[in-house]
Chain A
Amino acid sequence: MKSQPTIIQLKDVKKSYRLGETIVPALNGVSLELKRGEFTAVVGASGSGKSTLLNMVGCIDDPDSGSIMVDDVEVTTLDDDSKSDLRNRKIGFIFQSFNLVPVLNVFENVELPLIINPEVPRSTHKERVMQALKDVGIDHLAKNLPDQLSGGQRQRVAIARALAGNPSLVLADEPTANLDSVNSHRIIDLMLELNERRAVTFLFSTHDEKLMDRVSRKIHIADGLITGSRH
């Protein structure tokens, strides 16, 4: 794994939030390196800074200071449109609450990132979407609306959407938090399988210790600082 090139590099990243009159530190100088193809879990208690760390890596929040490199691009200096473009081409997101568009069917939800990607010809959308759905095992549900699916199926749709654009990196913020234990394990298994088959780097946050034995690397975070990192 060490021979793989670096895909994420954080150097002394700090972030704090203002809550009324109070400044709440979320990241207190985090430095981190992730190699391409790693399957990494960020573990920590609620409020430890897991989500903030993922948000920084995913370019959906800006650090107060520090440097963030994603696939050799320094994202802290990018403007909003460039960051949007970077997210579209290189990063896939999986959210705790799935965040599917209820008026679009499964196929259309998965197609969303492709629509704005000029590098993906429209004629290939169907093939790509159906492949992504097949990879997550729900290609037979392509025409269903999200409210016709179970929680586990919805999260599979979200995973397919994250993978449809062939990103280098998939970020998942508590992807199993809204699922029962059976479905949680299935989702983690699926992510692992996709990590191996597609060689996609996964970085996900969780506080479920039962899932920890499945990952190749665990990063412990507490009070906005990385307290441990084990392969």
Chain B
Amino acid sequence: MNKSVAKLAWRNLRRNRRRSMATGMAIAAGFTAFMIAAGYAFRVERVLANYTNYALHVGHIGIYKKNALEMFSIKPNEFALTMEEQNAITAAVQGLSNVEMTGRYLTSQGLMGNGCKTFPFVATGVDLSVESRVMNHPNLLKWNDHITVHRYGQPIWTFPEDMGAVALSEGLAKLLGKTKIHEELAGGKPVMIADCSAPNARELFGADANVQLAAGTWDGTLGALDGEFVMRFSTGLVETNNTSVVMSINHLQKLLNTDKVTNVSIWLKEPLFMSQTLSELKSRLRKTAPSLDVLPWTDERLSPYYSGTMHFIYVLVGFIGCVLAVVVILSIFNSATMTIIERSQEVGMFRSVGYNRKTIRSLFILEGLFLTFASVIAGAVLGLITMFAINLLHISINPPGVAGGIDLQFAPNALIIMAGATIVGILGMGSTWIAVSGVVRQNIANLVSGAHR
């Protein structure tokens, strides 16, 4: 029976081709818009998530001293992780099968000079061996391949630990007048500049990869160290592109005269199972180091840019999704209502030869489903072609707060497309059901004679 009803439903769609086409095109256009919005949202989410996880060193799980996220900038020494706590974390992480790697991080502010001028910096001290793995992680390179475009020079992990290699953000390097990096200067000695107001002063800064770092140590004195400018990079954000510095954690600890670190980041092999690993880790650390915060990377305090941007994007996609839902509901409802009114005598005939209400509903719902399905396929194909074409064009956009602009790219996701198609199908069936229900409950004699209209 179902096969025959399905065959009839399919043929009925061709009865009024113009109406079916108009309804189908409305749904297809809506689904294309949804796919493009979802493709954009999915790519932005993946880019920001991987940028946050790897480039910003947040990892998938962050371990901090309790309340450090609020208090570390005020009392860094008190709210940093001690050696004992670092050891406890190392022990707790051991044996967790989902952990890919861990890294210690130290952040501090200070002043950086070129011999004449000083500028504030925000430094991140990194484990060099971990940094190499983090910055070359396949996930980061897959979604943030633009990062390599904005890197110039040799990464700090390729230099000896005791060399004091530093990577400067583009803006800070420019402020300091550091136009050339270590490898371009063949390891020349620091240049002594007698007169900072001399016309050739900027030229002299540029001919020297040496920078001077100064910061208040955590035991209350002043620390100063030399650094060697080996690489410049873009943070991607205007607000950090003039201040960011990356160096080895040992070098920064030396500058601050401490063996403490700000946090330990943990990367997972399978981030989907983060909550299980997080619970296990919390449980283990509760016994050995109870004064720690173990946080998922999605905590707004760890990933404010990701959270803020994604909230906005989700609202945008949600709005487009709602518009699509209204388009689908109204199109199908309108089409089904007109169709069933036109075919009410036929419905009466079906009822009189023994078809019950459920079967009649199924017939019309199948018609709606076929129409929705065909429209969704058309919309999906159109959406894929559009996204592919835009990706090929490499259109550059400059969102506020982003340094250097970004390519407008889309990443279609099969799961999102299938979920969207399923929802559209359900909406199509639901609106057909509502449109049809009133008519199939009508008196059969009235339907047959057309008297109910």
Q: Which residues of A are at the interface with B, using a C-beta cutoff of 8 A?
A: 51-52, 55, 58, 60-61, 80-81, 84-85, 87-89, 92-93, 95, 97, 99, 101-104, 108, 111-113, 115-117, 161
Near A by CB (< 8 A), chain B positions 178-209 give none
A104 and B12 CA atoms in complex are apart in Å by: 9
Q: List 10 A-B contacts (CB under 8 A).
A: A51-B445, A85-B354, A87-B354, A88-B353, A99-B349, A99-B448, A101-B349, A104-B11, A115-B4, A116-B355
Partner of A61, one of B4, B5, B8, B443: B443
Query: Hey, which chain B residues are within 8 Å of A104, CB to CB?
Result: 8, 11
Please give the distance in Å from A43's CB to the nearest CB on chain B.
19
Q: In the bound complex, do residue A81 and residue B8 qualify as a contact, i.e. CB atoms below 8 Å apart?
A: no
Contacts of A111 in B (CB 8 A): 4
Tell me the bound Cα distance from A161 to B352 in angstroms.
12
A61-B443, A99-B448 known; A80-B8 Cβ under 8 A: no
- B-side contacts of A93, CB under 8 Å: 349, 352-353
Would you give the shortest CB distance from A160 to chain B, in whole angstroms? 12
Q: Which residues of A contact B349 (CB under 8 A)?
A: 93, 95, 99, 101
A84–B11 contact, CB under 8 A? no
Q: Given A55, A89, A103, which contacts B354 in the complex, CB threshold below 8 Å? A: A89
B43: min CB distance to chain A, Å = 44
Q: Is B356 at the interface (CB under 8 A from chain A)?
A: yes
Q: Which residues of B contact A115 (CB under 8 A)?
A: 1, 4-5
* B343, closest chain A residue (CB): A101
Flag whether B449 is at the interface (Cβ < 8 A): yes
B8 contact from A60, A99, A103, A116, Cβ within 8 A: A103
**B353 touching A112, Cβ below 8 Å:** yes
Residues in chain B near residue A60, CB distance under 8 A: 348, 351-352, 443-445, 448
A116 CB contacts on chain B under 8 angstroms: 1, 354-355, 359
Give me the 7 closest cross-chain CB pairs, A-B, nearest first. Answer: A88-B354, A60-B444, A99-B349, A103-B11, A61-B445, A55-B445, A84-B356
Interface size on B, residues (CB 8 A): 26
- How far is B5's CA from A55's CA once the two chains are assembled, in angstroms? 26
Contact partners of B348 in chain A: CB under 8 A:
60, 99
Contacting residue for A101 out of B1, B346, B445, B448, CB 8 A:
B346
State the Cβ distance, B120 to closest chain A Cβ, in Å.
77
How distant is the Cα of A33 from the Cα of B449 in the complex, in angstroms?
26
Which A residues are in CB contact (< 8 Å) with B448? Answer: 60, 95, 99
Q: What chain B residues lie within 8 Å of A108 (beta carbons)?
A: 4
- In the bound assembly, the distance between CA atoms of A52 and B449 in angstroms comes to 11
B interface list, Cβ under 8 A from A: 1, 4-5, 8, 11-12, 14-15, 345-346, 348-357, 359, 443-445, 448-449
User: Besides A89-B354, A99-B349, A112-B353, 20 other CB < 8 A contacts?
Assistant: A51-B445, A52-B445, A55-B445, A60-B352, A60-B443, A81-B356, A84-B354, A88-B353, A88-B354, A88-B355, A95-B448, A99-B346, A99-B348, A101-B346, A101-B349, A103-B15, A108-B4, A111-B4, A115-B1, A116-B355
Among A88, A103, A108, A111, which residue has the most Cβ atoms of chain B within 10 A?
Answer: A103
Contact of B352 among A80, A87, A103 (CB under 8 A): A87
Bound complex: CA A88 to CA B445 (Å)? 16
Residues of B close to A81: CB separation below 8 A: 356
Contacts of B350 in A (CB 8 A): 112
Q: A60-B448, A116-B1 are in contact. Are A161 and B353 (CB under 8 A)?
A: yes
Which B residues are in CB contact (< 8 Å) with A87? 351-354
List of B residues within 8 angstroms of A80 by Cβ: 356-357
Bound together, the chains give a CA A117 to CA B345 distance in angstroms of 22
Contacts of A52 in B (CB 8 A): 445
The docked-state distance in angstroms from the alpha carbon of A61 to that of B351 is 11
**A52 to B352, alpha carbons, bound, how many Å?**
14
Q: How far apart sit A93 and B8, CA to CA, in the bound complex (Å)? A: 21
Cβ-closest chain B residue relative to A84: B356
- Interchain nearest-CB distance for A24 vs B (Å): 12
In Å, the complex CA distance between A89 and B355 comes to 11
Expressed in whole angstroms, the Cα–Cα distance for A93 and B11 within the complex equals 24
Residues on the A chain within 8 Å of B443, using CB: 60-61
By a CB distance below 8 angstroms, the chain B residues around A51 are 445, 449
Q: How far is the CB of B450 from chain A (nearest CB, A)?
A: 9
Shortest distance from the beta carbon of B321 to any chain A beta carbon, whole Å? 35
Max count, chain A CB within 10 A of own CB: residue among B351, B353, B355:
B353
Q: How far is the CA of A117 from the CA of B351 in the complex (A)?
A: 13
State in angstroms the CA–CA spacing of A101 and B352 once bound together: 14
Contacts of B8 in A (CB 8 A): 101, 103-104
Q: Which of A84, A111, A113 has the most CB of B within 10 A?
A: A84
